[in-house]
Amino acid sequence: MVRAVNGNWLIRGRDGRLSVYLASDDAVLCRAEFAPGGSWQAPRRIGGAQQLHAGFAVGQGADGYAHLVAWRPTRSGESGLVHSTHFRPLLAALDWSPVGHPNKQGERTGEPAVAVDAEGRAYLFVRNRGKGVQTVNQKERGGWNTWHDLRGSRVHEQVVAVTGESGRIEVYATNPTGVLRWLQQEPGGRPVAADPLTADVEPGTLAALPTSKEHTTLFYAAPDGMLYAWREGGEPAPLLAAAGPGPVALLRCDIDGHDCTVLAQRSASGRVAFAAYPTEGETAGLWWTESGPQLPPGTRVALTVDGTGRVTAATLTPDGTLRITRRKEEPGLALEPWQECNAP
């Protein structure tokens, strides 16, 4: 069964191969291409034999390495966070190593998020027992620093962490009054609180995408289903009605020589809906175009650029079926037929 994943679970490795991360009931699994654009290997367990709780976070650094974070049971009624690094898609990942608990001990407190700075250090974020946000980051020469309370109040479970084009970490979370923000001011430093965005946000719909050296654009759905985009210094811009529930998958890419932002989401009809517009040009307008077969509720959608520079989309259904499509070699965002990625 597909479990919750925080972050982009479809990534391109340093060698150009695509890989996907998915969760079983007690493990994180990985599938990878045997060669760029080729067939896919069967799912294999990541990080050794440790039992994990459902759900995990994944983040990728500029070096192409994937960092994964999950909760594991430690003793009766208690859990702790663990971390693994996956250097190349076809290699084994490092064993899970303990990171601790935001409140020193206790049960899981929220969905973790992970981002990687320009130096390749992972930063982990999670809601704590008091419904603020707690963070811990890797040291420059190995190991982890101590946990630090970023504060915040009444934070919902979802925390979003991204690395801006500057290489600095940015963290976002929602609460009943809008979006809370923490921004890293200098390399290696802890993110500090920035002015929040007052907005009516449906919990669990927040997504973030670096769209220039100066800005990260936040996307969220309001309770009425309208999808909005916001950047610091402006007002939230209504885009279009969300195609379905949850956050949209996001990708910034080149389409016919234009800097574009692509959105994808499983629609109410069960098919995958795509929309695209000039990056940071929300006033240009956009609309959904549906693609592929009808997929069951709980299907996840992800976007990336493959080793040849083509926009690539993936879906993962609750039974673990992976499907891939790539942009055709023609103008626009026309896609090839969806291909089911069966293991050999």
For residue range 69-81, what is the model confidence (pLDDT) as tens digits? 999 999 999 999 9
Instruction: Identify the burial level of 57 via C-beta atoms within 10 angstroms of its C-beta, where 0-12 means exposed, 13-18 middle and 19 or more buried.
Output: buried
Domain ranges of the chain: 109-242, 251-344
Whether the pLDDT of residue 1 is over 70: the answer is no
Percentage of the chain lying above the pLDDT 70 cut: 99
pLDDT tens sequence across 205-236: 999 999 999 999 999 999 999 999 999 999 99
Q: How many CB atoms lie within 10 A of CB 87?
A: 14
Instruction: Quickly tell me which residue has 């034999």 as its tokens.
Output: 49
What pLDDT, on the 0 to 100 scale, is given for residue 2? Answer: 43
Whether the pLDDT of residue 344 is over 80: the answer is no
Q: Residue 22 is encoded by which pair of tokens?
A: 């998915």
What is the Cα–Cα distance from 114 to 137, expressed in whole angstroms? 9
What pLDDT, on the 0 to 100 scale, is given for residue 285? Answer: 93
Whether the pLDDT of residue 3 is over 70: the answer is no
Confidence of residue 343 (pLDDT cuts 50, 70, 90): confident
pLDDT tens sequence across 104-120: 999 999 999 999 999 99
What pLDDT, on the 0 to 100 scale, is given for residue 142? Answer: 83
What is the Cα–Cα distance from 207 to 98, expressed in whole angstroms? 27
**Domain 109-242 of CATH type 2.102.10.10:** no
**Residue of 41, 100, 90, 91 lying closest to 69 (CA atoms):** 100
296 contact partners, CB below 8 Å, separation of at least 6: 270, 317, 318
What pLDDT, on the 0 to 100 scale, is given for residue 4? Answer: 73
What letter would DSSP give residue 39? -
Confidence of residue 188 (pLDDT cuts 50, 70, 90): confident
What is the Cα–Cα distance from 198 to 191, expressed in whole angstroms? 20
Backbone angles phi, psi at 334, to 5 degrees: -65, 140
140-148 LR contacts (CB < 8 Å, sep 24+): 140/188, 144/99, 144/100, 147/100, 147/102, 148/190
Q: Do 123 and 105 meet the contact criterion of CB atoms below 8 Å apart?
A: no
Task: Give CA torsion, residues 190, 159, 282, 292, to 10 deg.
Answer: 130
Average pLDDT value over all residues in the chain? 95
Average pLDDT (284-312) is: 96
Residues in the chain: 344
Average pLDDT (268-289) is: 97
pLDDT tens sequence across 121-157: 999 999 999 999 999 999 988 899 999 999 999 999 9
What is the Cα–Cα distance from 218 to 233, expressed in whole angstroms? 12
CA 92 to the chain's CA centroid: 22
Instruction: Quickly tell me which residue has 């009943």 as its tokens.
Output: 176
C-alpha radius of gyration, the chain, whole number: 19
pLDDT tens sequence across 6-53: 999 999 999 999 999 998 889 999 999 999 999 999 999 999 999 999
Q: Do 293 and 299 meet the contact criterion of CB atoms below 8 Å apart?
A: no
